[in-house]
């Protein structure tokens, strides 16, 4: 079976509360399609995650990033830390509605 990407030998932290475990993760068309021992599987891109933690995206539940999305649409300060979801405006202030 051909995959787009396989992340190999990472310490998988799956977010369920289960202990971390060593596993390979296969991705096809932007979705995780297999997890486990994939040593015989092939992919276009192989990433060696030996010694690294592999986890689902993190949620930042208290941010003041309302304007950051305009300054840095790629949200690099967040995604480079593994944050894939932010919650903004939860303390009663926000740029919404922004009138430009």
Is the CATH number 3.40.50.720 carried by domain 2-54? no
pLDDT at 67: 81
pLDDT at 91: 80
pLDDT at 26: 97
Per-residue pLDDT of the chain (100 residues), as tens digits, is: 699 999 999 999 988 889 999 999 999 999 999 999 999 999 999 999 999 999 888 899 988 888 888 888 899 989 888 898 988 878 877 776 766 6
**Burial 74-100, CB ≥16 within 10 A → b, else e:** eeeebeeeebeebebeeeeeeeeeeee
Measured distance CA(47)–CA(80) in Å, rounded: 17
Sequence spans of domains, the chain: 2-54, 58-88
pLDDT at 93: 76
pTM score of the predicted model: 0.69
């Amino acid at each position: 079976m051909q995959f787009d990407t396989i992340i190999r030998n990472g310490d998988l932290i799956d977010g369920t509360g289960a202990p971390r475990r060593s596993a390979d993760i296969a991705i096809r068309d932007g979705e995780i399609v297999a997890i486990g021992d994939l040593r015989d599987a092939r992919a276009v891109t192989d990433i060696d995650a030996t010694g690294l933690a592999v986890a689902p995206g993190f949620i930042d539940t208290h941010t003041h990033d309302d304007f950051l999305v305009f300054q840095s649409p790629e949200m690099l300060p967040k995604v480079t830390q593994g944050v894939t979801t932010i919650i903004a405006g939860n303390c009663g202030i926000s740029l919404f509605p922004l009138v430009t």
